[in-house]
Structure 1
């Protein structure tokens, strides 16, 4: 007997099986129900260097990034805004196809249209770059320290990794 993972089964149950209709300028545009992974390729192009930008932001000196530091990151990469806009257009071209994208751009969407549409589609598609690039480390808070809830040391904690505790019964779990 073999095990089968049927990704098509889940796709058939998508909330928007016929696509996502977007209205703009009195016209309707049909976006796919799920975002094809290769549509995000422009975000990872060397020209855009989005990963380098994110690394600069994450590696800020004190661990937090201010608006000034973000502006500095952009000024160090003067081609970034144009590269990002190009990547965004390539993503929309991938989603709509050549003909659909030509019709879409013929309406001359505003920057606000792109921003609102991108946010709405990201929500529908479930794409959250913030979570995708979330730091694995714990963040420090500038708040008050919490009260200690247990003694600093216990007799059942082994001194070395892998050693047996002094009182084996205390570390047994009740299954």
Structure 2
């Protein structure tokens, strides 16, 4: 999914932590404000934080800070991967991926399309989560699907021309309490 492997990313993050502990590196904090109700709102967009979006293209640099002068920590090499925006700074968004890794991406490299990354080994996609159901597809972990709708415990997804339901527990790209049509 990313050009740099987990081991290299861990080594880079460990080095950054060591530098930060010496006081030589100050990582920027994204601009955000808390509303009186508690949720955070992005200062640049006015949209809620955190929120899910997806990677727009097949080559997206993830940087250590909000600007091209910061080093690239890793590169997404697959379009449609869901990521979570956790902070904003002008034209940059701090994202978190399925592994919990964070970094900064320019806003033009992200899109609002709701996508899902299927977790686990193989999951049965069913035609309806209510009453009797039929399996419409067997979906392997790592597949990216379009999120069509989510209710209490299930999401309707589209993979190519196949549409069906999977439990939220096997999906990255939606919050457990989130519902939408």
| Length-normalised TM-score, structure 1 | 0.24
Structure in which a larger fraction of residues adopt strand: 2
- Structure exhibiting the larger radius of gyration computed from Cα positions: 1
| Bigger proportion of residues as helix | 1
